[in-house]
């Protein structure tokens, strides 16, 4: 479970809001909201702004760290796959 998801659920409970209400305020469907909560790199500035307006406590620095960690993990995977392709080309 990512830190943003924990913060999101905590804020949701503290504000006594339903996810369906939040999704409607963000002009998105429930599947889209769920996807963005699981993958905070998909959040837009508009999404974050609306969440802040609703009273959510959001640690933006933490979101950026999570995004960077995912990028680093993806880059390492990509390099490993390239190396395997080079080896199999021999």
Reported as a single tens digit per residue, the pLDDT across 69-88 is 888 888 876 665 555 455 55
pLDDT at 35 (0 to 100): 96
Structural domain range at position 75? 3-89
Confidence label for 36 from pLDDT (cuts 50, 70 and 90): very high
50-68 residue pLDDT tens: 999 999 998 888 888 888 8
pLDDT at 74 (0 to 100): 82
| Dist CA 75 CA 78 (whole Å) | 5
Q: How many domains does the chain have?
A: 1
| Residues 59, 35, 69: CA angle, nearest 5 degrees | 50
What is the rounded average pLDDT of the residues 24-40? 96
């Amino acid at each position: 479970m990512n830190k943003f998801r924990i913060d999101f659920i905590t804020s949701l409970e503290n504000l006594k809001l339903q996810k369906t209400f939040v999704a409607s305020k963000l002009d998105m469907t429930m599947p889209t909201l769920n996807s963005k909560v699981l993958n905070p790199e998909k959040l837009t500035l508009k999404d974050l702004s609306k969440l802040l307006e609703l009273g959510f406590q959001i640690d933006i620095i933490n979101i950026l760290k999570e995004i960077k960690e995912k990028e680093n993990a993806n880059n390492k995977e990509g390099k490993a796959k390239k190396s395997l392709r080079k080896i199999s080309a021999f």
